[in-house]
Structure 1
């Protein structure tokens, strides 16, 4: 499976942080009846992810909600403790964080990238998707994990208006 417009997200249970609490989250159940933005970052505490990508969604959270988005989800190939600390530092408690700690979900969706040259190993490509009832309706993928333009909250918001 590859992540593409028209595709349904995989039927998996993931580790997640919802309302500040770590929990198992069944993705299809959580997405049922919802319109969400899912954005993925190569790694918490990395330059572009911390300075640009995550803050764009924290800053535009209320605007996204007022434009029909039920939840904003950040996926990262990091563990729960790292994502908890990252969320706390960025005051991002309103967002849902998916811990794809072993990159299994990322690989299943064909969104993995090998960043071993930067000592990061297998990570997620940087992208953002609008998902309605579990189906991808809009997808923006960055050309490089070191850039953040088409996957920023502002760009996704433009597509919603």
Structure 2
């Protein structure tokens, strides 16, 4: 039986020591080091590399990290009952620089939260149930626990739900994608224009096997760069500068 949010809110987080490897060196990280004097979001999930965790849960928290920071969050911690090597490799593969990955290798934190569950039917052993929480100075303010049902429910621990709790009127920038080519001055100009506005973007480079045929297929153009904002084609560097001059890319409330 999982705990209820009411039984956890207002309580301190479990006091444990994590065996982590930041910068590929062993280091003990205490609960106080993670939470004391800070406002921290924690989202915990069944395991690194698993489908929902890799495709939805982690990427959206990473994407919305700047918005969370603007709303008073100091750090976002991803936690799983995996060892430090697995968590570090997963972080590299996910390109999630905005997230602190914390290995709960022995399940001590998850057990202290009442979230350690038996996944031996999947060959996983003991793992964390999926949940998220907002922690202020080591005290749990709000918890979102996925419902106890078969499978891997992902209904309430997502980044948007957490952002709505923190600030229901927060504006979420539309995602920006730049198709670029190494050494292209116009591509550099487009990315500089986005950087000057403080807008994060995903750079899809020709070096990632994106050739002119692919560029034409997705944008209808064969010149580099091509910029998309919120799924809409903006165009090349000149078009992007005109778009930005007319106002920032559209933002939408946390949905």
Q: Which residue pairs with 1:78 in the alignment?
A: 82
Equivalent of residue 15 in structure 1, options 12, 19, 29? 19
Total equivalences in the alignment: 160
**C-alpha displacement of 1:61:** 0.9
Equivalent of residue 95 in structure 1, options 99, 116, 129? 99
CA–CA separation in structure 2 for the residues paired with 1:20 and 1:70: 23
CA–CA separation in structure 2 for the residues paired with 1:130 and 1:22: 27
Whether contact under 8 Å (2:21, 2:85) holds in the other structure is: no
**Deviation string for 1:84-135 (max 9, x for gaps)?**
1110111112211111111122112211111111111110000000000000
Paired residues for 1:1-161 under 5 Å: 4-16=8-20, 23-143=27-147, 144=149, 146-161=152-167
SS at match of 1:138: strand
Q: Looking at both structures, which has the greater relative contact order when contacts are Cα pairs under 8 Å and sequence separation is at least 6?
A: 1
CA–CA separation in structure 2 for the residues paired with 1:122 and 1:92: 25
TM-score by length of 2: 0.59
Which stretch has the larger CA shift, 90-99 or 43-52?
90-99
**Following superposition, which runs of at least 4 residues in structure 1 exceed 2 angstroms of deviation?**
15-23
Whether contact under 8 Å (1:17, 1:97) holds in the other structure is: no
CA–CA separation in structure 2 for the residues paired with 1:23 and 1:92: 21
Whether contact under 8 Å (2:81, 2:103) holds in the other structure is: yes
Q: Which residue pairs with 2:250 in the alignment?
A: none
CA–CA separation in structure 2 for the residues paired with 1:133 and 1:39: 17
- Structure 2: state its 5+ residue gaps: 168-255
**C-alpha displacement of 1:22:** 5.4
- Structure 1: state its 5+ residue gaps: none
Higher helix share: 2
**C-alpha displacement of 1:17:** 5.4
Q: Name the larger-Rg structure.
A: 2
